[in-house]
Amino acid sequence: MKKKICPLEKEVMEGLGEKELKPELQKHISQCPVCKDVVAVHTWMNRFKEKAWKTDMPKKDLPDARAVWDGAFARKGRTDKKMVRKALRPLIFPQVLSFVVFIAGGIFLAAKGILKFGNIFDSPVLTRVLPFFLILISMVFFSVIFCVLLLALEKRKKLV
Amino acid sequence: MLSSLVQPLNLALQKKDLEEDQHGTLYMEENRKEIWERFYEKNSRSFWFYIYKICGNEQTADDIFQESFYKFLKAKVSIQNEKHMQAYLYRIAYRLILDRIRRSKVEKKAFEEGQQAYLRNIQKEGPQSEIPFSLDMEKTFKKLKPKERMLLWLAYVEGYNYEEIAKMTDTRESSLKVQLFRAREKLARILKRQELQGGIRS
């Protein structure tokens, strides 16, 4: 089985980090394939970092520390309000619409009943029809609200 | 607002220099900001560089960099020292980078395109640039998977040990050793092959 770990690997790494390898470690490295790879990879990685840093970093502007701090704490309040507004937006239109339909329907029925039967509350037709009508209206109203609520919740979940 | 400021930098409360000078919340808050600024000034550039080297895309690196610091500032963890703070930051970034890669194939494609664009830019700017930069090294590093790049970077550039990296990556130490060994072996193999093909131009 191929050797994957060397007990001296840690010491080699520390030595490389301090840029000082003891002679006995150097001797070990020349014989150990694991440590040989460790040295090769460590040297290459650090040379790569050095070169890439010189190329990439001088032209890079990073945000100011205070801006990041403010961003982290200001962001939560802002996004919460924004999310609530977004989530509730689909609810407003059906709410207004159902309210208007309900009021208009009531006025229309009352007017029609008064015109046709005189005193609406004495009419036998109205007493039979009105409960069914109210049940129907409320069923439609609540199912619309339920659907819209589900949609809003789903949207909010996505936002979060 | 104040409570949200109190909990995130509980790391600042554990600093000895702060404990001597506690005169009130506002004062403490300013001190936390100072500690934060010192930490940020010291680590932000190398942290951004790490993310950039793993992602190979400046826009993605900026996003992950910012998100990491936001998460870091809001984290409810007790942190003992600066090394622990750095490790925690790298841990957040590790997860964010992996999330970004896993999220969708479309983004993965964009991610790869970003890397290719980066290589093209380097190729274009390389000869004119006064700083000698080896395109071969960049290409070699990109031959590794993002996770391999992260592990190698954490171990050989940042100098974290197995235990620390295992904590950062939520992996068992034993399996991390294997992963790191494989990544190292892969890179060493590539380097040897390049050496055989005429030396690494660096």
A2 is a domain residue: no
Enclosing domain of residue B166: 134-202
B56 to chain A: nearest residue by CA? A56
Interface test with A, best of B31, B64, B142, B156 (most A CBs within 10 A): B156
All residues of chain B having their beta carbon less than 8 Å from the beta carbon of residue A4 are 177-178, 181
A44 is a domain residue: yes
Counting Cα atoms < 13 Å in the Cβ hemisphere of B69 gives: 29
A65 to chain B: nearest residue by CA? B37
A27 is a domain residue: yes
Query: What distances in angstroms separate CA A45 from CA A7, B83, B128, B188, one per listed residue?
Result: 22, 21, 24, 11
The values of phi and psi at residue B134, to 5°, are -90, 120
Counting Cα atoms < 13 Å in the Cβ hemisphere of A4 gives: 12
Burial of residue A83, with CB atoms counted within 10 A of its CB: 0-12 exposed, 13-18 middle, 19 or more buried: middle
Enclosing domain of residue A140: 65-159
Same domain flag for A95 and A144? yes
Give yes or no for a contact between B172 and B166, defined as CB atoms under 8 angstroms apart.
yes
Question: Over its length of 202 residues, how does chain B's per-residue pLDDT go in tens digits?
Answer: 333 333 445 444 444 444 444 444 434 456 677 778 888 888 899 999 999 888 877 888 888 999 998 888 877 666 667 788 888 889 999 999 888 887 755 556 666 666 666 666 666 655 444 444 556 787 888 888 888 999 999 999 988 888 889 988 888 998 998 999 999 999 988 888 887 776 544 4
Q: What CATH number is associated with residue B191? A: 1.10.10.10
All residues of chain B having their beta carbon less than 8 Å from the beta carbon of residue A15 are none
Identity of the residue in A41, A53, A69 whose CB atom sits nearest the CB atom of B152:
A41
What's the number of domains chain B is made of? 1
Q: Which residues contact A65 (CB under 8 A, 6 or more apart)?
A: B36, B37, B40, B41, B44
What's the number of domains chain A is made of? 2
Same domain flag for A52 and A71? no
Q: Under an 8 A CB cutoff, do A41 and B52 touch?
A: no
- Give the separation between CA A110 and CA B85, rounded to whole angstroms: 72
Q: What is the pLDDT of residue B112?
A: 66
Same domain flag for A41 and A102? no
Q: Under an 8 A CB cutoff, do B33 and A4 touch?
A: no
Same domain flag for A48 and A79? no
Q: Which residues contact B95 (CB under 8 A, 6 or more apart)?
A: none
